[in-house]
């Protein structure tokens, strides 16, 4: 069972902006090779930090409005939200330690 939340325009406010935990949001698409490369690391981080960090995924093909709202032009893009607002962002297929370094000091 995946611990990652599928994020949509309908649940984004509740799941991310009202979250008491920091939220890692992975903007991705099915056809994106680098997105598939980092998916296991993102899933592993969701397990490792369960209860301390929420992890969500936004499929940019089905949630274009949401991707546009945050100016996502390249994927994969990892955004960290803290207190409901974007705190950090990195683009590209990052190794797990680099993804972890984006949020570790926020939890």
> Is 32 annotated in the active site?
yes
> Is 35 annotated in the active site?
yes
Q: Which of 66, 52, 42, 44 is nearest to 22 (CA)?
A: 52
Catalytic option among 7, 35, 72, 80: 35
CA–CA distance from 86 to each of 1, 24, 32, 41, 80 (Å)? 27, 10, 23, 21, 6
Catalytic option among 5, 7, 24, 32: 32
What residues act catalytically?
A: 32, 35
């Amino acid at each position: 069972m995946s611990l990652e939340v599928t994020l949509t325009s309908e649940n984004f406010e509740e799941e991310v902006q009202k979250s008491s935990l920091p939220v890692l949001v992975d903007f991705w698409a099915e056809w994106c090779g680098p997105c598939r490369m980092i998916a296991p690391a993102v899933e592993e981080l969701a397990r490792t930090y369960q209860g301390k960090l929420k992890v969500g995924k936004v499929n940019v093909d089905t949630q274009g409005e949401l991707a546009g709202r945050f100016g996502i032009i390249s994927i994969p893009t990892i955004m960290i939200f803290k207190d409901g607002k974007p705190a950090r962002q990195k683009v590209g297929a990052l190794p797990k330690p680099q993804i972890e370094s984006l949020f570790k000091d926020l939890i």
